Amino acid sequence: MYSLVNLIIALIIGGAIGSLIGWYSALASRGDNKRKIILELESQLDQARQNKVDYEAEVTEHFARTADLLNKLTDDYRSVYTHLANGADQLCGDQISMSEPALSAPPHDATDKPQLVEVAQPLDYAPKKPDEQGQLSETFGLDKSDSSAA
């Protein structure tokens, strides 16, 4: 019995030591896992910020290039118009007059308002004149002389 008691005590002590080592390693790995997750999320956040900065830079570059191209297009249009005006003056003489003020920028005067045409909303019915039947009438489009003759 003496050796059986020693064996049981050794098993209890070994189980306690194994449980403590397992508990400590579980806590340590759990803490590392949280740290790994935090580091991974921080790296994803940094990557998202960098992507946003890159995208904003691309958008800015795109619109700057667009503005340059539109300015170039405007200058090209002016040069074509000037060329046509000079050609018309040389070839047609006094018959056609193309003025230079058309090349300049339009005046930005707030008092000059363009003449707008008054636009009415489209109707969902056919309007009728006071002396006519409407298109929704049962007799619209029927000739009474034909129906009485038949």
How does DSSP assign 5-46, residue by residue? Answer: HHHHHHHHHHHHHHHHHHHHHHHHHHHHHHHHHHHHHHHHHH
Tens digit of each residue's pLDDT (9 = 90 or more) over 16-34: 999 999 988 887 777 677 7
pLDDT at 145 over 80: no
pLDDT at 138: 73
pLDDT at 104: 57
CB 82 within 8 A of CB 76: no
Tens digit of each residue's pLDDT (9 = 90 or more) over 77-131: 999 999 988 888 888 877 766 655 555 555 555 555 667 777 777 777 766 777 7
Residue 85 CB contacts under 8 Å (≥ 6 apart), including other chains: 98, 100, 103
pLDDT at 13: 94
Residue 78 CB contacts under 8 Å (≥ 6 apart), including other chains: 103
